[in-house]
Structure 1
């Protein structure tokens, strides 16, 4: 018995010893042989990482007004498993339907989503309608969550809100095709957003650290940190106000003529900085999915036969070559090309008889330009000038998908037609660059849409200067062509551009009406109408091109549809720029300032008053939110400059906000501020240059800086009555 016990003891001890040796050897393997491997795995288990999201750079206009920015948004997701376990399916569907506006059928599919094995999912995103929602909507969901949790006595109702960054366009439709948009996944799709995506998007950072079992960071653990690099800030050349003027004018065209599209570009001809670029119909990039087709930028992507606006190129070439004599006579009506059965005819059947070439320009005679371009310049020179003005090649503007146009002239008829803008296809931006070259002394410049790009961290700024492509015509030719084009606008009898005339300013311009190709021939009912011009002729500050595709009336042309919009845009823009008006001579050759009489608008509805002022191309500002004009400043029958803003008072004084008083005389400003009930504190003499609202001794005051008009001593400085009224205030 003792021997048996001893053997069992030895056996047990041997087994224990063997197990201990195995354990020691395993520990050795784990700690020494494979120590590094297991240490690395442990570090992974200890470690935690967080992504540091970079903010996308802002996009602003030339004055710093924000057009695109990042803002906080929220994404909604649900837990179908938890919702169904707690019996909250119908409550969640009803609540989210009411808050997010998503259909109940769609929500039911999300809330009851299952795996292939039939079990409910634990997470499902509410993408369509619950993605990147605003804080106000997120707050409603939070409130709903709390109320439902208390009502059903459950800790978690299965709705989650994740905070992230969202691209936001504070000015909504303004310049939307130019700025572009990001899709729901943050991908840049169009416009500046897409072209400058590398600069705007920045680079995400991260932080990696070691944690304990409670996910608390270890004080002495390793930390790896890379800060997020925010995107660069892109400042555009566009002017927020001029962009608004342009879009407002296009909206009037759409309202009256219902075209397929309407496009306009405004630029500074001396630098080719784009001041405005707009298209109709519009879309809101904050809700791009509602009208995504309207994100198309016709200004750089669409090709049009320019029609008679292209005659400017033929005219400039003929003047440069010494082939245009404004007083030379020719026979209008038709021009026969050898070997071509159908002659080229003027828009007026039979023409205007024997007239001068300058009259041919005013009437927009096709025959005059065939004679100049086809007969005198010839194919080689004409095509050389067309090419030198930039047609047939991309302008290089910093926007994606720009088209280069089509200029393919082989046969005599094609060359003859090209002289008056038929048979060639161009983009609006090419038209603007070419006419800007004629306005600025003959220099073709690359269109510029970006003024600067700034790094938000280092503040290093890259600026963009005007880029000369080539000298196309001489300064002397530029001046002559401007004077000829001015007569197209100023001649109220013969000028096709007379509707673009702005009293007090010298305006050069040209109308265009082009038949659209329908199949293999030209349509008799579908037209593209346009107007392009610049002002003032002697010192150009702005060039504007307006093109309208298929207005609903086939009998209207560029002079009726586009020229009035041009007038409205240019008048408001020159006024904003502070450009001095030109002066006209009276019968005694003494210079007098051009004025216009203010109509009586009191007691009219706001719509009637606006219509009357628009008809006179007078600028105005509504003061108040009423529907009837209670008072106007300046008063009816006052003689004012055409650029003077008319203020329409529509509410009682206690409801009025302070309007923009820039450009007003002190007397008119005093009258307005007296109505509002705010004290005016003037500095200087003349007309208001700037204004600033302040609080002085707990009283609201408006400080204004005045200056003589256009840098000279005002001929109507403050009289004693003005000074006394100021003292009384």
Structure 2
């Protein structure tokens, strides 16, 4: 019995153990499945409580770096550099005597007298002023700066000061924009300035005026993000590589550097002679609408910013004014096109009453009874008032609208104004026919004149030739000829230009100073009174003078429009002063046009890198380029402009071969050529004047030293 009980007890124990074992096994399996599932979930989803484990690991073991995008360059129509990136520096002096290097050498100003003496050679401060800065009122000052004189220092100045090895003198660097031509369509090209991003602390260049501003997105590109391992011994999922950098696109303008340089020179002379409130000048290709040269006064040097405080506005599009008698070109066009022009009919010049209010000619006595055609050449307001009344205000206004007056040209430049006019009463309607009581911009006038020059087709002016991705050479955007309307017939335009020639070639014409030997000129002078609270101003020094010229008259290639606002010095007839700008610029344009047809077609630059100098010269000469060798090496290591780019024939191609550099004969070179040579040869180029090089301080054939200064004079 006892034996039986013991056996039953043993079986129960074994059964209980078996059940416990099964339960334990099931529990272990369950725990394993839960943990395994969780592991697989985490491994697959890589998230715990909403936190991405890969991201967390990357933060610990990887670092991100911002890769700054390079701002695109701005070029003229043939690839000449107008704006590029550089660095500027600000200098400061450390005074704290506890600052020493690892080697124990002082990193503070040791000899203040010597430091002041040396710095006075490079900064626009006297030794006395620098010593004052080095001895501040606060004797515990850690460091001092030198105000504006110590800011915006060039790379050249930075390098010269650095070479002096002055203890305690240090620099901060920031990106900047270099405009190698100085005063060169400055308001149109604009400026880009270093701007601090308060979120990231990064400093980048942002366009604040002109093309630099309006094409800032294209020029700026976008920064990239690069990841690097902070702990090389750890293995991290490296599938994410950051964001690639996209450098800015290059912008090619329609400007012709030779014409622009000449225009700047002539406008500077006009400004010096007449001291006007302001002045503008613009040259347009009559076949396409491309602006090949444009400037204004006051202007500024885009690199140094000298003069920028005088006028921020771009007068070509932002400032509306009453144009005066150049508007008569449009009045004549409307009259001929609508059948209301009677050139041989006579009218009484001098004074004309409209509803009891006077319209007077610039000579109130007039010239007696004269034909309307002569009235146009004499710039008679009375003639145009009669013509407007013969057309009627409805017809005249229709033509004003057809010429796109009172509408923005949609140039793309900031703050462009649409102008406006007073057109309610008969006297106001008549006033607009001779350019009073209507406000326009130079760009609007140039756009309207294009219809007269282009046989009735009105062209939209443009100044961007193309936008190019520098990495792929892909053209992102191309400027092109755009017809925005046909306000007059082709036959009308030809008749208008014929009448305009009388202004220049008739003895009584107001534009006899504008003749160009070998070419017929169609043109119109203008004199606009300025509206004030006390009425309209009088006197040559209180009006806006203007001129529009189209050459050749029978088939215009170029149109030039000039304004001169309130000249305070009048040493000669105003028409002569303005003609001294018009004639040389237009003559140069016409000469270049002839050469473009025969000698300077577009060609592809051969790749001469790694080729011998002899072979490279042959290739470039065969392609009708002008090779310039820099150095005495046997092979070409780099070239500029880049290989396989489109350039004008007869352009200089620079080849760097390394070794010692000899001075070339720069006579006839442009400023751009000289600066390109200086950059590649690592020398300093100081230019004086505008135009083409006529004198150089170092004789050709002289061996140049690194960073040697060369002075060239242009004319």
Go from structure 1 to structure 2 and tell me whether the alpha carbon gap of 1:33 and 1:549 turns closer, same or farther (over 3 Å shift): closer
Go from structure 1 to structure 2 and tell me whether the alpha carbon gap of 1:438 and 1:218 turns closer, same or farther (over 3 Å shift): farther
Match of 1:101 in 2: 124
Match of 2:206 in 1: 187
**Kept after mapping to 2: 8 A contact 1:93/1:111:** no
SS at match of 2:392: helix
Match of 2:187 in 1: 177
Q: Distance in 1 between matches of 2:174 and 2:92?
A: 13
**Kept after mapping to 2: 8 A contact 1:511/1:558:** no
- Correspondence list, 1:45-56, <5 A: 46-56=61-71
Alignment deviations for residues 262-314 of structure 1 (CA, whole Å, 9 cap, x no partner): 11011012221111110122211111165333443211112221111011111
What is the CA-CA distance between 1:192 and the residue it aligns to? 0.4
Matched, 1:575 2:597: no
Go from structure 1 to structure 2 and tell me whether the alpha carbon gap of 1:458 and 1:189 turns closer, same or farther (over 3 Å shift): same
Match of 2:577 in 1: 561
Go from structure 1 to structure 2 and tell me whether the alpha carbon gap of 1:271 and 1:111 turns closer, same or farther (over 3 Å shift): farther
531-540 vs 562-571, which deviates more?
A: 562-571
Q: Distance in 2 between matches of 1:110 and 1:285?
A: 32
Match of 1:367 in 2: 382
Alignment deviations for residues 89-117 of structure 1 (CA, whole Å, 9 cap, x no partner): 77366655553335776897799698xxx
Match of 1:205 in 2: 224
Match of 1:633 in 2: none
**Kept after mapping to 1: 8 A contact 2:526/2:547:** yes
**Kept after mapping to 1: 8 A contact 2:273/2:571:** no
SS at match of 2:399: helix
Match of 2:327 in 1: 310
Matched, 1:407 2:421: yes
2:472 maps to which of 440, 451, 458: 458
Q: Distance in 1 between matches of 2:315 and 2:50?
A: 66
Go from structure 1 to structure 2 and tell me whether the alpha carbon gap of 1:360 and 1:49 turns closer, same or farther (over 3 Å shift): same
Taking structure 2 as the reference length, the TM-score comes to: 0.69
What is the CA-CA distance between 1:124 and the residue it aligns to? 7.6
**Kept after mapping to 2: 8 A contact 1:515/1:528:** yes
SS at match of 1:100: coil
What is the CA-CA distance between 1:428 and the residue it aligns to? 0.7
Match of 2:162 in 1: 142
SS at match of 1:242: helix
**Kept after mapping to 1: 8 A contact 2:524/2:549:** yes
Match of 1:636 in 2: none
Q: Distance in 2 between matches of 1:45 and 1:129?
A: 45
- Correspondence list, 1:650-669, <5 A: 658-659=667-668
2:512 maps to which of 476, 483, 498: 498
Alignment deviations for residues 601-644 of structure 1 (CA, whole Å, 9 cap, x no partner): xxxxxxxxxxxxxxxxxxxxxxxxxxxxxxxxxxxxxxxxxxxx
Match of 1:521 in 2: 535
What is the CA-CA distance between 1:163 and the residue it aligns to? 5.0
What is the CA-CA distance between 1:165 and the residue it aligns to? 3.4
- Correspondence list, 1:240-279, <5 A: 240-279=257-296
Matched, 1:543 2:523: no
Match of 2:451 in 1: 437
Match of 2:366 in 1: 351
Q: Distance in 1 between matches of 2:258 and 2:53?
A: 66
SS at match of 1:562: helix
SS at match of 1:394: coil
- Correspondence list, 1:609-688, <5 A: 658-659=667-668
**Kept after mapping to 1: 8 A contact 2:498/2:522:** yes
1:283 maps to which of 259, 282, 300: 300
Q: Distance in 2 between matches of 1:412 and 1:555?
A: 39
**Kept after mapping to 2: 8 A contact 1:394/1:403:** yes
What is the CA-CA distance between 1:131 and the residue it aligns to? 4.5
SS at match of 1:344: strand
SS at match of 1:352: coil
Q: How many residues align?
A: 538
Match of 1:319 in 2: 336
Match of 1:677 in 2: none
Match of 1:4 in 2: none
Go from structure 1 to structure 2 and tell me whether the alpha carbon gap of 1:317 and 1:555 turns closer, same or farther (over 3 Å shift): farther
**Kept after mapping to 2: 8 A contact 1:180/1:295:** no
**Kept after mapping to 2: 8 A contact 1:332/1:352:** yes
**Kept after mapping to 2: 8 A contact 1:330/1:354:** yes
SS at match of 1:285: coil
Match of 2:494 in 1: 479
Q: Distance in 2 between matches of 1:536 and 1:324?
A: 24
Alignment deviations for residues 649-688 of structure 1 (CA, whole Å, 9 cap, x no partner): xxxxx99755489xxxxxxxxxxxxxxxxxxxxxxxxxxx
Alignment deviations for residues 125-157 of structure 1 (CA, whole Å, 9 cap, x no partner): 777444453222222332334xx44xxxxxxx3
Match of 1:300 in 2: 317
Alignment deviations for residues 19-51 of structure 1 (CA, whole Å, 9 cap, x no partner): xxxxxxxxxxxxx99998999778646544433
Q: Distance in 2 between matches of 1:170 and 1:536?
A: 34
What is the CA-CA distance between 1:447 and the residue it aligns to? 1.2
Q: Distance in 2 between matches of 1:101 and 1:562?
A: 38
SS at match of 1:286: coil
Go from structure 1 to structure 2 and tell me whether the alpha carbon gap of 1:161 and 1:47 turns closer, same or farther (over 3 Å shift): farther
Unaligned residue ranges in structure 1 (runs of 5+): 1-31, 150-156, 582-653, 662-698, 700-729
What is the CA-CA distance between 1:368 and the residue it aligns to? 0.8
Q: Distance in 1 between matches of 2:551 and 2:272?
A: 27
Q: Distance in 1 between matches of 2:547 and 2:50?
A: 80
Q: Distance in 1 between matches of 2:435 and 2:58?
A: 73
Match of 2:109 in 1: 88
Q: Distance in 2 between matches of 1:107 and 1:222?
A: 58
Aligned-pair Cα RMSD in Å: 3.5
SS at match of 2:304: helix
**Kept after mapping to 1: 8 A contact 2:300/2:306:** no
